Amino acid sequence: MTDKAYFLQAETEFESQNLDAGVLAKANYSSRGIETDLKHKYIELRVQDLIESAAQAKKDQVIAQAKKYGKLGWSIGWKVGAVGACLFFLFVIVYVLPNL
């Protein structure tokens, strides 16, 4: 989502009075209760909040994917290691022990 969409979402929230209470409180404090500044401050803070939320969601998605691939890699590595151990054991039985 681009920042234009975030600005549109924030303005739509403000106009429909479907406001984020925490952002509204912060905007009210920052605008010192001046009604004309409240809308601009709310939109500014809400866009910043939406951008941070999207970034956190993306980061969580990347971490979840990395964990998934990590588990898959561990599973494959364990199997390769087990096959390697079996082949080594067969080598010892077939080539080393008969030559002792």
Percent of the chain residues topping a pLDDT of 70:
97
Q: Is the pLDDT of residue 62 over 90?
A: no
What pLDDT is stored for residue 66 in this prediction? 79
Contact 2, 47 (CB under 8 A): no
State the amino acid at position 45 in one-letter form: L
What pLDDT is stored for residue 52 in this prediction? 92
With tokens 């290691």, the residue in question is 81
Domain count across the chain: 1
Q: Is the pLDDT of residue 46 over 90?
A: yes
Residue 8 lies in domain: 3-99
Q: Is the pLDDT of residue 72 over 70?
A: no
What band does 50 get if pLDDT is binned at 50, 70 and 90? very high
Torsion angle, CA of 88/93/99/100, rounded to 10 degrees?
100
Q: From the DSSP assignment, how many helices (H) and strands (E) are in the chain?
A: 3, 0
